Chains A and B, each alone.
Chain A
Amino acid sequence: MSFPPAIRRKFWGRDFSSPVMLASGTAGFGEELLDLQCLSGAGAVVSKAVTFNPREGNLPPRLLETPFGLLNSIGLANPGVYHVVKHLLPAAAGLPCPLLINVAGESVDEFADVVSVLEECSVHIGYEINVSCPNAAEGGAAFGVDPDVVLRVAQGVSKVTGRPFSVKLTPNGGDMVQSAKAAVEGGASAITVCNTFLGMHIDWETGKCVIKRKVAGYTSPALLPLVVARVWQVSNAVSVPVISSGGVSRGEDVLQLLAAGAEMVQIGTRLMRRPFAAGELMDEMKKLTGE
């Protein structure tokens, strides 16, 4: 790698003028962004998580801002894969940039089942497999913490699609490097590092949590060094590209993640604050590097 890193990237055999991807859960299925002019500067969009059956999502409050970050407990709200295929993905055909579909499940088989249904669509270039959700069928721990489970999930997905897929790992428990290696062994074409960090907020006066499920996913610009370290570790351990996710609020953050070994860089919470974040980050990066 040469430094400073190039803003133009090659990923999954395609040329990208921007490394910035809109992270799952912050961009709908892309179709919601079409008219909003938020996609200028975005290299790719990752859809909301799709599960086999519809999920209502968690009882609100689903968000809680803390002084230095944001807790979320959305609960993978989505209308289920058949609704997504029929009603949401057709509109995404007009996207000006590639779409990856994020897939979640409650059992090892569900990932492949969802991908099978999505295979009839041609609108997306690949998948992001969210192994950070709890494996309800096998004890409830996140799929991603057990390399053997990650391997089985990846193998299952490989069997039903020829499209590339990234496995999005969890930072909460387990050895991310071992899980990444297992994902690649199972056929993953990229690793997303990483999902949200487990967080919690308790009202010390009452002992109660505002968020009903108590623990939630934490995101923050302050997580940048944690993501940089994990991107560096994983990208040095696997042969497939790493997509970073988390910690970005400035153009220089994107450049740092690229320097750490990320091929593409996702933004999430920043996009919620700044709908035009992708373009803003690109402008900042171009100014910084002169590219």
Chain B
Amino acid sequence: MSAIRDFDCAVKHSEQMLPGVVRIVFDCAEIASAAFPGQFVQIEPSPDAFPVTRRPITINRLTKNGFELLFDVVGRGTELMAEMKPGDMVRVLGPLGIGWAIDPGSSWLLIGGGLGAAGFQFLMDSVVSATVLIGASSSDRVIPLEACHVVTEDGSLGGKGLVTALISEKLLDETDSIAVCGPVAMMEAVWNTIPEKHRDKVQVSTESRMGCGWGVCDGCSIPVSGGGYKKCCQEGPVFPGVEIDWKRWKEAGL
């Protein structure tokens, strides 16, 4: 494992992108030059004693001199992050984890559920060809991505339905790699929709309640097939779909 680095990064830009979804751009040339698609950073929401841990957020894209995060405001930590203003200095650890395994020249199918698509832009910017399928509960949970196919559960954007309906044999045949990210139930539904012969192409970006983010606390374990666990933060967050023990993962209810 390579050295980890902790930076004081300046907030460059902050805005509410969708209801309850915040976009923050940080300046940090070091993180930007070291990051790979699918990696994440650990943000310190406040310099105060609480919250006691950081918040792990996937890098959505690189910017000219830094990186951009998109996240849901779901609790005190992300509330504090939503209050960050341009010029604020924030402690950021990263980049962390293992991202998408990208073969040169490969064509990709990206399947996202709601805010799970936060992070896809960086991957799209790094591959030669990507088809994007997005499913969300409604239009205000859809991250705008170029040329993506969208369905929503309430029909407020794109067709009405679930993202699994967009997955076709033709798309699967034409693609070399499949990236999946979203809630566990959505990812499992996608996994079950993909026929056996295409499953080796699937990579999933996982999420877990995380402590350190750098492999020491064993808090963010993901159940893997054949028994046991792997660390979301260090051995993931991206895993081959075949490595996941879907039954135990669902049982964990992360």
Residues of chain B within 8 A of A61, CB atoms compared: 208-209, 252-254
Binary A-proximity of B207-243 (CB < 8 A = 1, otherwise 0): 0111110111111111100011100000000000000
User: Interface majority SS on B: helix, strand, loop or mixed?
Assistant: loop
Q: How far is the CB of A29 from chain B (nearest CB, A)?
A: 10
Evaluate contact between A60 and B252: CB separation under 8 angstroms.
yes
Smallest Cβ-Cβ distance to B215: which chain A residue: A32
CB of A198 within 8 Å of the partner chain: no
Residues 30-85 of A contacting B (Cβ, < 8 Å): 32-33, 35-38, 48, 56-57, 59-65, 67-70, 72, 74, 77
Contact flags (1/0) for A1-43 with B, using CB distance below 8 Å?
Answer: 0000000000000000000000001111000110111100000
Report the Cα distance A35→B25, complex, angstroms: 29
Q: Is B2 an interface residue (CB 8 A)?
A: yes
On whether the beta carbons of A273 and B252 are closer than 8 Å, the reply is no
Q: Which residues of B contact A37 (CB under 8 A)?
A: 3
Is A272's CB within 8 Å of the partner chain B? yes
Ordered by A's residue number, 22 sampled pairs between the chains whose C-beta atoms are within 8 Å are A25-B217, A32-B1, A37-B3, A56-B229, A57-B218, A57-B221, A59-B223, A60-B208, A60-B209, A60-B223, A60-B229, A60-B252, A61-B253, A62-B221, A70-B53, A70-B211, A219-B52, A272-B53, A272-B216, A273-B53, A275-B6, A276-B6
Residues of B within 8 A of A155 (CB): none
Q: Is the CB of A220 within 8 A of B218?
A: no
Interface residues on A, range: 35 or more
The answer for the CA separation of A77 and B254 in the assembled complex, in Å, is 19
Contact B223 A32, beta carbon cutoff 8 Å: no
CA distance A48 to B51 in the complex (A): 24
CA distance A17 to B29 in the complex (A): 35
Interface pair A67/B76, CB less than 8 Å apart: yes
A interface majority secondary structure: loop
- Identify the B interface with A (CB < 8 A): 1-4, 6, 44, 49-54, 76-77, 93, 208-212, 214-223, 227-229, 248, 251-254
- Contact at A70–B3, with CB atoms within 8 Å? no
Residues of the B chain whose Cβ atoms lie less than 8 Å from the Cβ of A70: 52-53, 211
Q: State whether B93 touches A221 (Cβ < 8 A).
A: no
B221 touches A60 (CB 8 A): yes
CB neighbours (8 Å) of A274 from chain B are 6
A147 to B209, CA, bound (A): 36
